[in-house]
Amino acid sequence: MLDIKITKTTSPKAKPTGKLGFGKIFTDHMFLMNYTRGKGWHDPRIEPFHDLTLSPACMVFHYGQEMFEGLKAYKAADGSNYLFRPDMNAKRTNNTNDRLCIPQIPVEDFVQAVKAIVSVDQDWIPTEPGTSLYIRPFIIATEPFLGVDVSETFLFMIILSPSGAYYESGLEPVGIWIEDEYVRAVRGGMGFAKTGGNYAASLAGQVKAHDDGYSQVLWLDGVERKYIEEVGAMNIFFKIDGKIVTPMLNGSILPGITRDSVLQICRDWGLPTEERRISVDDLLEAQANGKLEEVFGTGTAAVISPVGKLRYKDDVMVIGDGKIGEISQKLYDTVTGIQLGKIEDKFGWRVKVD
């Protein structure tokens, strides 16, 4: 159990009105906890949201030793506040930390910290349909030292951002660019870890895709550039000839919590599922035979993101009829229904914030 010291703001901000968008508005408070080698994690605290004072020599600025997580808090119709599988974010934090030589945080301490900060700022959880409070835990290396080494000090923080409905006008299928020049991650690298470096490596591909009118990049494996890995910040699923297929976790793909939830729900529904290697050629062939029935991305931000178009070199695969697929819609309704407390939580995924 952390002994969290809470200092409340004396000048609360006005709550936002109108469209929230994503990631630009922050709540009144933040959680902080320091790590010092030899002492461990210490001084867990909640303070008014504030800027940081850091040495320009801090290791995070030079060699990128940092990690982040992303999850959401939801307000149910009865006024209860819920998190969705926060223990999974805590476990993934430690897998990321191990890869980046960042000290682990006990799972129960991580979950306690998330609950504590959400509880303090619970009035910031928006209630309009599709909205939620985005939670961003992250850790940075703070030792002021220009040598390449593991930092002796770290700062763990959690900030909160009320976020709008991902889709303003329903679940609209997006266009996806299959990138054949740049790669995001390789086996043995840090593709499975949630760390800024993976995103830095993805920007050039994203710019290319945007310039061509596609909203997201689908990455191929870094060795043969043949097998499907994942989308920028989402895992990818295909419905091929009645089967729900997704790339298997191979070390260079981020193990999404939404991905895991979708697989469990599909199995519960009795749908055949497969986690395997999928090549671009498999997709082109399925498309040519009329068997590529649905394509969707999964991630905390959008939950389910239907894909209407996939471009690979000179081929453009148009999926479905420009509308969300039947299974995609059903999965969206089921996952968000569980998150919001509208349907029975048979998997025990919802966690109440006191």
Give the binding site for ligand PLP (CB under 6 A). Answer: 70, 194, 230, 233-235, 254, 256-259, 298-300
What's the rounded Cα separation, in Å, for the pair 157 and 110? Answer: 10
- What per-residue string of b and e applies to 28-54 under the rule 16 or more CB within 10 Å gives b? bbbbbbbbeeeeebeebbbeeeeeeee
Residue placing its CB nearer to ligand PLP in the complex, 164 or 256: 256
Contact (Cβ atoms closer than 8 angstroms) between residue 195 and residue 140: no
Residues with Cβ < 8 Å from 181, sequence gap 6 or more? 205, 208
CB of 290 to ligand PLP, least distance (A): 29
CB of 43 to ligand PLP, least distance (A): 28
Residue placing its CB nearer to ligand PLP in the complex, 109 or 230: 230
Contact (Cβ atoms closer than 8 angstroms) between residue 139 and residue 155: yes
CB of 296 to ligand PLP, least distance (A): 12
Which 3 state secondary structure label does DSSP give 63?
A: helix
CB of 46 to ligand PLP, least distance (A): 24
Residue placing its CB nearer to ligand PLP in the complex, 28 or 229: 229
CB of 257 to ligand PLP, least distance (A): 4
Residues with Cβ < 8 Å from 273, sequence gap 6 or more? 243, 244, 245, 246, 263, 266, 267
Which 3 state secondary structure label does DSSP give 326?
A: helix
Residue placing its CB nearer to ligand PLP in the complex, 105 or 190: 190
CB of 262 to ligand PLP, least distance (A): 9
> What are residue 67's DSSP bridge partners?
139
Residue placing its CB nearer to ligand PLP in the complex, 29 or 259: 259
Burial, 298: exposed, middle or buried (Cβ in 10 Å; 0-12, 13-18, 19+)? buried
Residue placing its CB nearer to ligand PLP in the complex, 120 or 209: 209
Place of tokens 């922050």: 26
What's the rounded Cα separation, in Å, for the pair 181 and 341? Answer: 43
Nearest one of 155, 137, 220 to 184, comparing CA atoms: 220
CA 318 to chain centroid: 26
CB of 254 to ligand PLP, least distance (A): 4
Residue placing its CB nearer to ligand PLP in the complex, 201 or 271: 201
